[in-house]
Amino acid sequence: MLGCPGPPPPEPVATGTLELNFSPYWNGAALEFDVLQSAYFGRNITLDSFQFYVSNIRAVRSDNSEVKLGDIALFDFLKTGKTNHGSGVFQSFTLDVGNYKGLIFDIGVSPALNHTNAANYNPDSPLHASKNMFLNEADGYTFLFLKGRTDSVGVQFPVSYRICLDDLLTNLDYTTAAKDAFAIQKNSETQFILQIDVREILDGIDIARKPIIDARPKNSEGYILAQQMMNNFKTKSLFKEP
């Protein structure tokens, strides 16, 4: 005897793609590497590399509930995006269809991951040793790394700014302005674009007098300057595109 058929399986939840995109600039123009550019205090700098971690990435629904998108991502601005110039660096996430107030995330590596050993990750992980961002298990990872060269009295000096340590993890909340909101539609891509003017991270930093900055140890001069750079990053460098 055949039993009664059960209820039909539920319809799969419709999803789309959210692309978190950092679009880099230098003093309002598209960011370029290996090109002499003007910095603060009348200094010049040639950038060799720029990269930073984003962690604990969450989308906030209209009802204020949060959806975890990712634990960690490394944004490396030497890597090209969809086009070769001025396209930005992005990470893509699958997200349920619906309306969202915006995104919340941290610049840096969350404490749960910051003191793990880079040697224990697969090569495709953003935390693998090959990314050259791991310091040691006590200090953790470099959150933000900017490297280049500066000219002073006709001589080039290396510039190296390495921001790290748990206390410098910086939270960014893009859920309060109308332009932060976005909608996810089925099988479609939505871009969440943040313009980043790298020059503004160096506001107040005389690169000729302070060409090397390392946040270690805590409360050192390097730590205080790294705090200033992270505050610049949050308050002066980033701008959410409508």
pLDDT by residue (tens digit) across 160-175?
A: 999 999 999 999 999 9
Does the pTM surpass 0.85? The reply is yes
pLDDT (tens digit, 9 = 90+) per residue, 74-83?
Answer: 999 997 555 4
pLDDT of residue 84: 40
Counting beta carbons within 10 angstroms of the beta carbon of residue 15, is it exposed (0 to 12), middle (13 to 18) or buried (19 or more)?
A: middle
pLDDT (tens digit, 9 = 90+) per residue, 93-134?
Answer: 999 999 999 999 999 999 999 999 999 999 999 999 999 999
CA-to-CA distance for 146 and 109, rounded, in angstroms?
16
pLDDT (tens digit, 9 = 90+) per residue, 4-25?
Answer: 666 766 667 899 999 999 999 9
Domain boundaries, the chain: 15-240
CA distances from 26 to 16, 31, 32, 40, 79 (A): 32, 5, 8, 12, 17
Please state the rounded mean pLDDT for residues 167-193. Answer: 97
